Structure 1
Amino acid sequence: MFRIFSFISLILLSLPASAQMTRCTLTYSLQGWSFFYQEYRGSGVVSCRNGQRASVAIVSRGGGATLGKSEIDNGKGVISDVRSIEEVFGTYVYLNGHAGATRSAEGRVMTKGLVSLALSGFGRGFDLGVAIGAFSIKPR
């Protein structure tokens, strides 16, 4: 019995400990246009509770029933729990609704595998529509 317990203990101790999960946020600015095709570019900062931080470049491309030109300043994003800031980088799929005249509003919920990102922001411009597309976050 002692040998079995020792063997199981040895196996459990040799398994890698799961990484601690952390919550990250994104502060961003975007500028762009849409006329059925949609393209926005910008930059931001990803900050995680574990102290990791990165400046990022953002590119968003998509299409749908959409028209306008706008910019979002100081937008906010909440990222689902991740093991490392590295899991934040990559391309997310989104469904976007946007509307505004002189004052623009944005709301997006998107996913990249097990990682989800919810964005909200206000800015300037005119825009109206819904679109589906890709939102890429890359370290600068």
Structure 2
Amino acid sequence: MLRDLVKGAVGGVLATATMSAVMLAGDRAGLMGDQPPKKIVRAFMPGNRHRPKRGEGVLGALTHFAFGSACGAAFGAVFGKERAPIPIGVGYGLAIWLVSYQGWVPMLRIMPPISDDRPGRPAVMAAAHVVYGATLTLAVNGMSRSTGPAGPGSGDPRG
């Protein structure tokens, strides 16, 4: 079980890096405004919850990777011993997006719900979470294959 959690956590870090690339591309295209991880951290820092604060960018990135790693560990706990289909991972990534950006984030009044967000950001965030889920699945599946038992029927070419 611990090995599966670690595989998922490592996969979550890799998946967060790839999804962050999508988010940065969306930012460069002018679709994002402030990055959501930065806005979330800002809301919990002392002072006005909507005003920029010193260190929020770095703290936002760190917490984004921590959250991605934790979500990856949960995925690894379920799928660490078997190969998950990529659509399952994509659905998992989209579920994280929906629960966060249609659920707890607007409930805490950090950002509006998806339907009321700025034009363009929901599409970028959905795409980023699709990339997260696909990358997470590929990473966990790859680590499961390389650390799984060798022998007949295991998929290991050593037989």
Q: Normalization by structure 1: what TM-score? A: 0.27
Bigger relative contact order, structure 1 or 2, given CA contacts below 8 A and separation 6+? 2
Q: Which has the higher strand share?
A: 1
Q: Normalization by structure 2: what TM-score? A: 0.25
* Rg (Cα) greater in structure: 1
Q: Which has the higher helix share?
A: 2
